[in-house]
């Protein structure tokens, strides 16, 4: 449980693909990817200020567009003062745009950093599941054993149930059998009474 408390945020989103499930501080690589994605603007401002001090060009600026990515822009009039590690990326009206190895490395990290952060988060989450499954396996095995023991006892109890049901049926059927036998005894009694009655003597008229 301590692992879950450290790894998962208090109120995770309902879907893993939304991100934000793994808590900050649990994985350094994930924290870096998140900070890059959320702190890109701040990093660019810091880089811009550092490059202005380095080159002495106050009009220098660091920016981004979707076509060419990140770049350092110098006025064309100041392009001759560009350091040797500035690689030309684009020429525009009244300006030259460059990229440096540091800026290229930053660009590679930022572009798609959210996708990489989500992939890393999914990888961490699946690793957590594997560890939890391994830790819970003994408890699951114990639960299966207890369930199997209960099932093994159930047939022995069930075998007595048909006999009990049959006995109950016979007890219920007993009165009805006696009820059906009673009319037979009454009929025999009536026949016995009729047999004992004396026969009437034939009259003279009957003899003739």
pLDDT digits (tens, 9 = 90+) for 105-146: 888 888 888 888 899 999 999 998 888 888 777 766 666 666
Please choose, from the candidates 36, 49, 28, the residue with its C-alpha nearest in 3D space to the C-alpha of residue 124: 28
74 versus 35: the higher-pLDDT residue is: 74
% of the chain beyond a pLDDT of 90: 35
Buried residues in 181-206 as b, exposed as e (16+ CB within 10 A) = eeeeeeeeeeeeeeeeeeeeeeeeee
Instruction: Name the phi and psi angles at 10, rounded to 5.
Output: -65, -40
Whole-structure pTM value:
0.46
CB 20 within 8 Å of CB 13: yes
pLDDT the model gives residue 5? 81
How many domains would you assign to the chain?
A: 1
Q: Is residue 77 part of a domain?
A: yes
pLDDT the model gives residue 194? 55
Inform me whether the pLDDT recorded for 100 exceeds 80. Answer: yes
**Phi-psi region at 56: left, alpha or beta (left = phi > 0; alpha = psi -120 to 50):** left
Q: Is residue 184 part of a domain?
A: no
Inform me whether the pLDDT recorded for 174 exceeds 60. Answer: no
Q: Is residue 69 part of a domain?
A: yes
Q: Is residue 44 part of a domain?
A: yes
Return the CATH number at 62.
Answer: 1.10.1420.10
**CA dihedral (30, 33, 37, 39) positive or negative:** positive
CB 124 within 8 Å of CB 30: yes
Select, from the ranges 131-135, 158-162, 177-181, the one with the highest average predicted confidence (pLDDT).
131-135
Q: Is residue 141 part of a domain?
A: no
């Amino acid at each position: 449980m301590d692992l879950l408390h450290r790894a998962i945020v208090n109120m995770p989103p309902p879907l893993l693909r939304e991100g934000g499930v793994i808590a900050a501080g649990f994985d350094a690589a994930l924290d870096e990817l998140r900070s890059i994605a959320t702190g890109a603007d701040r990093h660019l401002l810091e880089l811009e200020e550092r490059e202005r001090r380095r080159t002495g060009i106050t009009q220098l600026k660091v920016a981004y567009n979707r076509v060419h990515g990140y770049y350092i822009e110098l006025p064309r009039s100041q392009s001759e003062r560009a350091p040797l590690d500035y690689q030309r990326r684009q020429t525009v009206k009244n300006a030259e745009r460059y990229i440096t190895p540091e800026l290229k490395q930053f660009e590679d990290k930022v572009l798609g950093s959210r996708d990489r952060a989500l992939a890393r988060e999914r990888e961490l989450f699946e690793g957590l599941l594997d560890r939890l499954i391994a830790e819970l396996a003994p408890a699951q095995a114990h639960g299966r054993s207890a369930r199997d023991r209960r099932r093994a006892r159930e047939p022995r109890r069930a075998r007595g149930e048909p006999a009990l049901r049959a006995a109950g049926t016979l007890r219920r059927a007993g009165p009805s059998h006696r009820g059906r036998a009673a009319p037979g005894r009454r009929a025999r009694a009536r026949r016995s009474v009729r047999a004992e009655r004396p026969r009437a003597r034939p009259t003279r008229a009957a003899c003739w």
